Structure 1
Amino acid sequence: MTVFDDVLDGRFRDRLKLNNQTGSLTITNTTMKHAGRYELRTINRPMSVVYILTVYKEISVTEGDSVTLNFNLTEISENDILWEYETETALIAHINRTAGRFSTYDVLDGRFRDRLKLDNQTGSLTITNITTEHTGHYKLEITGGKLSSKAFRVSVYEVLVAEERSVTLNSGLTEMTNEGVIQWRFGSENTLIAEINKQANSMTVFDDVLDGRFRDRLKLDNQIGSLTITNTTMKHAGRYELQINGVIKPFNLTVARVKFMSVKKDGSVTLINDLTEMMDVDLIQWRFGFKGPVIAEINVLDKTSSVYDDVLDERFRDRLKLDGQTGSLTITNTRTKDSIFELTSNLMKTIFLLTVYKEISVLEGDSVTLNTGRTEMDYKEIHWNFGLTNVLIAQISAEKDTSEVYDAVLDGRFKHRLKLDYQTGSLIITNTRNEHSGVYYLHTDTVKCYNLTVYARLPVPVISSNSSNCSSSSSSSQQNCSLVCSVVNVGHVTLSWYKGNSLLSSISVSDLSISLSLPLEVEYQEKNSYSCVLNNPISSQTQHLDITQLCHTCSDSVHCCGSTEAVIRLVLSALVGVATVVLLVYDIRSRRAEQDRAHIHSSALALSLRGFVMVEQILLTFDRFEDLRNPMERCRHYMWL
Structure 2
Amino acid sequence: MKSTLQLFEVLLLMCESPSAVDAGVTDMKLMSVKEGDPVILQTGVPQLTGDMLIVWRFGDEGKLIAKHDIEAKSSPLYDERFRDRLKLNDQTGSLTITNTRTTDSGHYKVKISSNKQTLYQKYIVTVSEPGLSPAAVAGIVVAGIAVLLVIGLIYHRQTIAELAKIVSGVEGEDVELKTGVTKIQTSDLIEWKGGNKDNLIAQIKEGTITSYEDVLYGIFRNRLKLDMKTGSLTINNPRIEHTGPYKFLINEKCKKRFIVYIKVRTLTVKENDSDTLETKTEIQTGDEIRWMFGDKDALIAEIKGETREVTTYDGPDGRFRDRLELDMANGSLTIKNITADHAGIYKLLILSSGSTLCSKFFIYVKESTGSE
Return the TM-score normalized by structure 1.
Answer: 0.22
| Greater helix proportion | 1
- Bigger Rg, which one: 1
User: Of the two structures, which has the highest relative contact order with CA contacts closer than 8 Å and spacing of 6 or more?
Assistant: 2
